[in-house]
Amino acid sequence: MYSIHSVLSLCTSIVLLSLAGCGDDTVPGANDSASQEPSSEVQAAPEAAPADTGQAQERFDLSLMGFDDGDTEEAVVHVIEFSDFGCVHCANFHMDSYPALYEEFIAAGDVAWKYIPISLAGFPNSREAAIAGECAGQQGDFPAMRSRLFELRETWMESDDPEELFVAEAREAGLDVDAFQVCLNESEAARERVDEGTRVARAVGVTGTPTFVVQGHPVQGAPPLDAFQEVLRDLVAEARDPGH
**pLDDT computed for residue 43 by the predictor:** 34
In this structure, which amino acid lies at residue 159?
Answer: S
**pLDDT computed for residue 21 by the predictor:** 61
**pLDDT computed for residue 56 by the predictor:** 53
**pLDDT computed for residue 162 by the predictor:** 95
**pLDDT computed for residue 63 by the predictor:** 83
191 is a domain residue: yes
Residue 51 CB coordination number (10 Å)? 11
**pLDDT computed for residue 57 by the predictor:** 62
51 is a domain residue: no
**pLDDT computed for residue 157 by the predictor:** 96
9 is a domain residue: no
Quote the domain boundaries for residue 207.
14-26+67-237
101 is a domain residue: yes
Whether the ω angle into residue 38 lies within 30 degrees of 0, i.e. cis, is no
In this structure, which amino acid lies at residue 201?
Answer: A
243 is a domain residue: no
62 is a domain residue: no
Judge whether 136 and 117 are in contact, CB under 8 Å. no
pLDDT tens profile 95-106: 999 999 999 999
**pLDDT computed for residue 61 by the predictor:** 81
Report the number of distinct structural domains present in the chain: 1
Residue 40 CB coordination number (10 Å)? 9
Question: Considering the entire predicted model, what is its pTM?
Answer: 0.80
Residue 53 CB coordination number (10 Å)? 8
Kindly report the three-state secondary structure assignment for every residue of the chain: CCCHHHEEECCCCCCCEECECEECCCCCCCCCCCCCCCCCCCCCCCCCCCCCCCCCCCEEECCCCCEEECCCCCCCEEEEEEECCCCHHHHHHHHHHHHHHHHHHHCCCCEEEEEEECCCCCCCCHHHHHHHHHHHHHCCCHHHHHHHHHHCHHHHHCCCCHHHHHHHHHHHCCCCHHHHHHHHHHCHHHHHHHHHHHHHHHHCCCCEECEEEECCEEEECECCHHHHHHHHHHHHHHHHCCCC
36 is a domain residue: no
Residues 6+ away with beta carbon under 8 Å from 222: 19, 20, 21, 38, 89, 90, 92, 93, 97, 210
Domain containing residue 84: CATH number: 3.40.30.10
- The one-digit pLDDT tens for each residue of the chain (244 residues) are 334 344 444 332 333 344 556 766 543 334 433 333 332 233 333 343 344 445 556 777 888 899 999 999 999 999 999 999 999 999 999 999 999 999 999 999 999 999 999 998 889 999 999 999 999 999 999 999 999 999 999 999 999 999 999 999 999 999 999 999 999 999 999 999 999 999 999 998 899 999 999 998 899 899 999 999 999 999 999 999 887 5
Task: Find how far residue 216's CA is from the centre of its chain.
Answer: 14
204 is a domain residue: yes
